[in-house]
């Protein structure tokens, strides 16, 4: 791990422990060159994912981009950050467990839609408006009407 102070690659781990959500490892490090101390948060990545965009272009999966997109939808909403982090970690685990290293941006969008629907309805509609490329108010009305009909559909009863 590169030292943020002097750029040296020779650093040493002094302490390592899981974070509260157990999705990352918090490590205290010291630089052997300048003596600077810093903290890193490291996540286990099961496989390197590649995102296939709608244009066909392929880019490496970026968890931070996913986080930014979700946080944009959640802006000014009072949602517990731990719930948001659990949702994002769950989406990443689902993507990694698909068994394919190439995933489409549509797959990611669908997982985010499902996650936001269970987290915050306003954020869900915000994300949907961008993801589904709403062009006018009728798109919102149609989407909300579809949501309302989904909510009023009775669940099948167990026999």
Q: What is the pLDDT of residues 86-127, one digit of tens each?
A: 999 899 989 988 888 899 999 999 999 999 999 998 999 999
The ranges assigned to domains in the chain are 11-42, 50-152
| Structure confidence at residue 111 (pLDDT) | 95
* Residue 140, token pair as written in the block: 């919102």
Percentage of the residues of the chain whose pLDDT score is greater than 70: 89
CB atoms within 10 A of CB 149: 9
Quick one: which H or E segment has residue 17? strand 11-18
Task: List, in sequence order, the alpha helices (H) in 40-120.
Answer: 63-73, 81-96, 105-119
Task: Please state the pTM of the whole predicted model.
Answer: 0.65
Task: Report how far residue 104's alpha carbon sits from residue 129's, in angstroms, rounded to the nearest whole number.
Answer: 19
pLDDT of residue 136: 87
**Which tens digits make up the pLDDT trace of 60-90?**
999 999 999 999 999 999 999 989 999 998 9
If we measure between CA atoms, which residue out of 1, 53, 69 comes closest to residue 31?
1
Per residue in 8-36, pLDDT (tens digit) is 999 999 998 887 766 678 899 999 999 99
Residues 39 and 67: their CA atoms lie apart, in Å, by: 21
Cβ neighbours of residue 34 closer than 8 Å, sequence gap 6 or more: 3, 5, 6, 8
For 34-48, what is the mean pLDDT?
80
pLDDT of residue 23: 66
């Amino acid at each position: 791990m590169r030292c943020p102070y002097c750029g040296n690659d020779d650093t040493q781990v002094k302490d390592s422990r899981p974070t509260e959500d157990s999705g990352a490892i918090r490590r205290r490090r010291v630089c052997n060159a300048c003596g600077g101390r810093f903290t890193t948060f490291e996540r286990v990545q099961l496989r390197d994912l590649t995102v296939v965009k709608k244009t066909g272009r392929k880019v490496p999966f970026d968890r931070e981009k996913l986080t930014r997109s979700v946080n944009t939808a959640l802006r000014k909403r009072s949602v517990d950050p731990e719930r948001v982090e659990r949702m994002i970690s769950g989406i990443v685990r689902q993507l990694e467990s698909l068994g394919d290293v190439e995933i489409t941006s549509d797959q990611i969008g669908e997982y985010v839609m499902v996650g936001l629907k269970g987290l915050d309805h306003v954020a869900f509609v915000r994300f949907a408006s961008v993801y589904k490329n709403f062009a006018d108010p009728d798109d919102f009305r149609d989407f909300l009407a579809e949501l309302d009909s989904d909510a009023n559909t009775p669940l099948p009863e167990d026999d």
